[in-house]
Structure 1
Amino acid sequence: MATSTPPGSRTELGDVLTVLDLAGSARVWIDGGWGVDALLGRQTRDHGDLDLAIEARHLDAFVGTLSHHGFTAVGEDGATAWNFLLAGPGGAVVDLHVIVLDEHDNGVLGPVGKGAVYPAESLTGHGVLGDRPVSCIAAAWVVRFHDAYAGDADDRADVRALCDRFGLVVPEQYR
């Protein structure tokens, strides 16, 4: 993704649950580190932000609600209309990934020609944060998405934990 979370940002479980409450009936999927934690059913590490895929048809209302609760655009250099950051008054950061579902329920991220897609199967994950059931990116796809770039120590721990928990093959670069 083109965005980058501001250094020192920290997004706690309570922040995540608040953002999900504010999402109301908007269709959202948790991605990134919090998505991994949802799949594992427990928080495994600190997180700078909450990666959240959201259907474009819900974006304006959701951003309006977040703004009403003190969230503001970070204004990072890599921001686009389909991927941008909002920071809350307490320091939480939401990294929004705006998707449009195509005729096959794939989540198209950005201009169609760029080929950035959450395949329909990737949008079928279910997890738990706190005691709350959440929709998230499916484990096999989280691993596949991570394998598309050189990860850091957090990525290695996330991939290994998911592979162990779900019986997936650890990609070569994460062994």
Structure 2
Amino acid sequence: MKIDNVTEKDLFYILDLFEKMEVTHWLDGGWGVDVLTGKQQREHRDIDIDFDAQHTQKVIKKLEDIGYKIEVDWMPSRMELKHKEYGYLDIHPINLNDDGSITQANPEGGNYIFQNEWFSETNYKGRKIPCISKEAQLLFHSGYELTEKDHFDIKNLKSIT
């Protein structure tokens, strides 16, 4: 039973799933760093996906229908799910507001406010992948005690020209 390492094949499966559901989404976290650098740099415990919050119920239902189980529920901020084959998936609903702003619920109340240019795309293995920008990744890797993986990701982000 594989749940500790989410592979590139698992990543493409999840990206395909969100595309088939026609849900606007962006890759975040460690896999987001790796697609920005152009290659897998390390193993990943999970996949982080930011997505259009108006589709939250549809996304959760689809994930449960294919076998994901909820492990952590901090909605409306985030939810972590686990699948016996595809591993962990961390979903983050974001609000694409009418005024063009982008926000995410803060688990402690209020909202995080994001800049539109942080939501970008990159080419990885011949595929366009919507992802969080280098600048946003570096910003999101601050304000907390960094792990060894975080330091590794920051080093890789800083190597991108």
Q: Shorter-chain TM-score: which interval?
A: 0.7 to 0.9
Does residue 66 of the first structure (1) align with residue 63 of the second (2)? yes
Instruction: Give runs of aligned pairs for residues 77-88 of structure 1, distance below 5 A.
Output: 79-88=74-83
Code of the residue aligned with 2:9 in structure 1: it is G
Q: CA separation in 1, counterparts of 2:55 and 2:121?
A: 20
Of 121, 139, 148, which aligns to 1:144?
139
Alignment match, 2:41: 44
Does residue 90 of the first structure (1) align with residue 94 of the second (2)? no
Aligned length: 156
Unaligned runs of 5+ in 1: 1-7, 167-175
- C-alpha contact (below 8 Å) 1:11/1:47 kept by paired residues: yes
Of 3, 15, 21, which aligns to 2:16?
21
Code of the residue aligned with 2:111 in structure 1: it is G
Code of the residue aligned with 2:57 in structure 1: it is D
Point out the more displaced range, 38-47 or 9-18.
Answer: 9-18
* CA deviation after TM superposition for structure 1 residue 104, in Å: 4.2
Q: CA separation in 2, counterparts of 1:45 and 1:13?
A: 11
Q: CA separation in 2, counterparts of 1:126 and 1:104?
A: 22
Return the TM-score normalized by structure 2.
0.86
SS across alignment from 2:160: helix
Aligned-residue CA RMSD (Å): 2.1
Of 148, 153, 161, which aligns to 1:153?
148
Return the TM-score normalized by structure 1.
0.79
SS across alignment from 1:44: coil
Unaligned runs of 5+ in 2: none
> Once the two structures are superposed, what CA deviation does each residue of 1:47-87 show, in whole Å capped at 9, x if it has no partner?
1110110111122222222222111211x3x6223301111
Code of the residue aligned with 2:68 in structure 1: it is F
> Once the two structures are superposed, what CA deviation does each residue of 1:21-56 show, in whole Å capped at 9, x if it has no partner?
111221000010010011111110001110110111
- C-alpha contact (below 8 Å) 2:28/2:47 kept by paired residues: yes
